[in-house]
Amino acid sequence: MHHETAAEQREAQAVNSFLQFSSKQPLLKGVQIFRAGDYSHKNKGAWNAQDLQQIASNFKMLKAAGEHVPPLKSSHEDDNRGNPVLGWAEKVYAVGKDLFADFRLVSNRVLDLIKRKAFRFRSAELHDQPRPWTRPDGSRLGNVLRAVSFVPIPEVKGMDEITATLSESGLAYVALADEDEAGVAINYQGDKMDPKDKNKKGTQDPDAESTQAQGTDGEGETDAEDEDADTGADGDTDADAGDGEGEGDGDAADGADTED
């Protein structure tokens, strides 16, 4: 009989926190989080397009089962007090050799920090086949996205920097830095995109009919509820994969994870 570990209990708290999370929080869409390639020289394995499809499939399965929702963190550290959760992955999908995710941010303040370039580069923490994810029933699963963290120096080169800019019409463009504010519109007021911005393009989700997403209320201002939204049950919202319990062999953070 499998006994739930402390790490698994904290993981369940994180999942419950996500399930209770308001859908009115800002949605960061089409974020490139990983690229297929051979990272064996860094002891992080080789990943192909099929692996990325499997990561996306496993994300959907684990989320539906209520077992794991990857957090968006400010660094690779797993200290909840010094590294609060900034958001939760809402969707993960592969396009060719690139892996993308949509993140439900915990606060407009996070979006503002991205706009100010406090967060520019990100890194995917992955469980591969040699260092698999451990499910509550004790079974092992490779090709699992554990978390995504912001990093100052990306390890996987050639991926686009994230920026966000606010237009006068109240739209936040989650953009690719090398495409002059081209990106996804987040509409805070529920209005349509300004016609002058209609040609701005973003990363297309293959399952989505439109890249425009509804954001949060008002003018994107942060209120007290936003500031407190980054903590779940007892302030412990991180997926807490750092102890190695209930999450493979605990090697994802310093082994199988690949910093872009």
User: For 65-89, what is each residue's pLDDT tens digit?
Assistant: 999 999 998 876 665 555 678 889 9
Say how far apart CA 218 and CA 234 lie, in whole Å: 29
Rounded percentage of the chain residues whose pLDDT exceeds 70: 50
pLDDT digits (tens, 9 = 90+) for 231-241: 333 333 333 33
Please list, in sequence order, all residues whose beta carbon lies within 8 angstroms of the beta carbon of residue 219, skipping any fewer than 6 positions away: 170, 188, 189
Give the model's pLDDT for residue 23.
54
pLDDT at 13 over 50: yes
Of 223 and 76, which is predicted with more confidence? Answer: 76
- In this structure, how many other beta carbons lie within 10 angstroms of the beta carbon of residue 42? 12
Give the model's pLDDT for residue 97.
93
Q: Which of 5-14, 134-143, 251-260 has the lowest mean pLDDT?
A: 251-260
Rounded percentage of the chain residues whose pLDDT exceeds 90: 24
pLDDT at 133 over 70: yes
Say how far apart CA 201 and CA 243 lie, in whole Å: 41
Say how far apart CA 18 and CA 69 lie, in whole Å: 8
Contact 186, 200 (CB under 8 A): no
Give the model's pLDDT for residue 49.
95
pLDDT at 27 over 80: yes
Q: In the predicted model, what is the mean pLDDT of residues 11-25?
A: 59
Q: In the predicted model, what is the mean pLDDT of residues 87-116?
A: 89
Q: In the predicted model, what is the mean pLDDT of residues 150-178?
A: 57
Give the model's pLDDT for residue 188.
34
Question: Could you tell me the two tokens for 57?
Answer: 């499939």
Say how far apart CA 247 and CA 238 lie, in whole Å: 13
Four-residue CA torsion sign, 94, 239, 173, 23? positive
Please list, in sequence order, all residues whose beta carbon lies within 8 angstroms of the beta carbon of residue 167, skipping any fewer than 6 positions away: 173, 194, 197
